[in-house]
Structure 1
Amino acid sequence: MDRQLVTQGAEGRVYVGDWLNHSVIIKQRFSKKYRHVDLDTHITQERIKAEARALTRCRSLGIRTPAVYDVNFDKREIILENITNSITVRNYIYAAVERDLSMDNREILSLAEKIGKVLAKMHSNHIIHGDLTTSNMLLIQPYESSEVILIDFGLSSVEERAEDKAVDLYVLERAVLSTHPNTEAFVSCCISAYKKAGSNAAEDVVKRLDEVRTRGRKKLCFG
């Protein structure tokens, strides 16, 4: 299979290629030389399984994610749908700023509401993403009416605790505020939509989020 390297990180490489007449993304995990080979193989397989399960479970719930085409444990790879003609939410916000849209513009807040709703649905089914950032969300044209597509579930897990869901939201909140200036209204709208869409369980998560924020501030102050 022909492939072209897109990016390389601490955990592995990401390629784009063609597979059975499909444009695909191939995620290949590195072996960790500091771990015993059997342990490393086991951990890698479990991470690949967790990612494939989370993606498949999200799709079964009506949450848009890339389709899982194949898993190859021998090659440490997962082969996913390549969602073409898409843009990350991160780049969409950057483009909005270039158009002189303020972060409390209705178009931007509508996107925040969409994100909040899809995360509430994901969490209500106990799926933890693990790396929620605006780079791990896609939109397809026409962007203003696109559903939010979640990608990169490499750190995902299944957890029922409100604490884990609150940490998931906190990761997103910090990612948005540190990447995009003046996005307090955006974050507030996202959390509000999450709370409204997710019933009583979501309210518990939002309450726990305040505790997570407090711990985060203390860590920043005292190390």
Structure 2
Amino acid sequence: MVIIKQGAEAKLSLGEFCGKKCLIKERFVKHYRHPDLDTHLTKERMRAESKTAARCEAAGVNAPRILHMDLNERKIYMEYFEKSITAKAYINDIVAQLNEPAEQKQRINKLAGEIGTCIGKMHANNLIHGDLTTSNILLDPLATDDGTFRDYKLIMIDFGLSSFNQSSEVKGVDLYVLERALLSTHSDITYLFNTILDAYKEANTANVIEIINKFEEVRARGRKRTMVG
């Protein structure tokens, strides 16, 4: 296996499953937790991650197919998109390579609309991502793509903090996490989150007004904490 990324919770490696190249996510042992508790929490999160990926597919949202799950080894074997890039990298490339602001905005707004639609579909089916960032969204170029990523398939990834929840407030928190991530990562693109939110409202017709109200409440609490310290 070849390690391609390592974080606080897990490492990602390239490997094989049944002779096919795949991505392997291995969760670390948390030595500060009681071994039995750590094993239990890890297995629960792995099951949740696998279920969310399957439920996304049923909801019409692209996600990596889970090929195999080894609870004892703490490993999930999943579909690997070899030519994909993150939405973060895509946006940064557009800003760096395109000098025409109108073309920049057009292509970024197209992506933002697709992101909002995907999140809206997830929330309409009570699927909470838990860590919405442009680093956790892949763009997989279509076979006819010319290398510019004008035509791509948008794929939601990294469901390690995901859950199944009907709560409007939890969905509002999901949106707030995304807004904070965008302010941190793409602070110069001021219209990005609003474009995502507009598409989200169209895609998620289930209690969308209540969800947006809860999002506004969560945002207000966050701003108050920032001011007070």
TM superposition score category, shorter chain reference: over 0.9
Displacement of 1:181 in angstroms is: 2.8
Q: Is the deviation greater in 157-166 or in 196-205?
A: 196-205
SS in 1 for 2:153: coil
Match of 2:14 in 1: 16
Map residues 1-223 of structure 1 onto 2, 5 A cutoff.
3-98=1-96, 99-102=98-101, 105-141=105-141, 142=145, 143-223=149-229
Q: Provide, for residues 5-34 of structure 1, a one-character-per-residue CA deviation record: whole Å limited to 9, x for no partner.
A: 112211121111122122211111111112
> How has the CA–CA distance of structure 1 residues 211 and 187 changed in structure 2, closer, same or farther, with 3 Å as cutoff?
same
**Counterpart-to-counterpart distance in 1, 2:135 and 2:219:** 22
Query: Structure 1 stretch 100-109 or stretch 84-93: which is displaced more?
Result: 100-109
Q: Which one is further off, 131-140 or 56-65?
A: 56-65
Instruction: State the AA in 2 paired with 1:49.
Output: R
> 1:129-188 CA distances to partner (integer Å, 9 max, x unpaired)?
000000000112232332321000000011101111111111111111211132221111
1:200 Cα deviation (Å)? Answer: 4.7
- Give me the whole-angstrom Cα distance separating, in 2, the residues matched to 1:221 and 1:14: 38
Question: TM-score, with normalisation over the residues of structure 1?
Answer: 0.94
Gaps of 5+ in 2: none
Contact 1:129 1:153 in 2 (8 A): yes
Flag the 1:200–1:46 CA change in 2: closer, same or farther, 3 A. Answer: closer
Identity of aligned residues (%): 41
Alignment partners' CA distance in 2, 1:126 and 1:200:
10
Give how far 1:203 is off: 2.2
After superposition, the C-alpha distances for 1:182-210 in whole angstroms (9 at most, x for unaligned) are: 22211111101111221251222112111
Distance (whole Å) between structure 2 residues aligned to residue 201 and residue 161 of structure 1: 10
Q: TM-score, normalised by structure 2?
A: 0.92
Q: State the one-letter code of the partner of 2:134.
A: T
5+ long unaligned stretches in structure 1? none
Q: Which moved more, 1:11-20 or 1:152-161?
A: 11-20
Read off the aligned partner of 1:80 and give its amino acid letter.
Answer: M
Other structure's SS at 1:25 match: strand
What is the count of residue pairs matched by the alignment? 221
SS of the residue corresponding to residue 15 of structure 1 reads strand
